[in-house]
Amino acid sequence: MKKLIIALAFGAVSVTAASSSFAADVKRGEELTKKYNCASCHGADYNKPIDPSYPKLAGQHADYIAHALRAYKRGGDQANGRSNPIMAGFAKPLSNQDMIDIGAYLASLPSQLVVRK
């Protein structure tokens, strides 16, 4: 019984440590969006893209942003990948943590997205 309790405690500590390493950093996400100049296409406030076919990013779900960036990084020739040469170029150098942080930052912004009509 003592070994089981120790194993469960160790497992709980491991899960907590692993999940905290993926905690989103909104400030770092903001720095990354500036570094990669995301506003040049998606608009200064991420609500008014320069082209109507580009998505509004402000207020978007953080996990969706991270998922989309991973798909661009994979590319259209891979399963669940997205084909866009511009976004692929921006996504290639990003780590999973970078994508999480960018998603958290964009999700934190005031949004003009319509949830319901």
Q: Give a yes or no: residue 103 inside a domain.
A: yes
User: What range defines the domain where residue 71 resides?
Assistant: 25-108
Mean pLDDT (the chain, rounded): 87
Looking at the 3D structure of the chain, how many domains does it have?
Answer: 1
Within a domain: residue 54?
Answer: yes
For position 77, what pLDDT does the model report?
84
Q: Please, where are the H alpha helices in the chain?
A: 2-21, 26-35, 39-42, 62-74, 85-91, 96-108
Per-residue pLDDT of 33-81, as tens digits, reads 999 999 999 999 999 999 999 999 999 999 999 999 999 999 878 888 8
CA distance 16 to 101: 19
Assign residue 39 the CATH number of its domain: 1.10.760.10
Residue 16 lies in a domain: no
Residue percentage of the chain with pLDDT more than 70: 80
pLDDT, residue 78, reads: 82
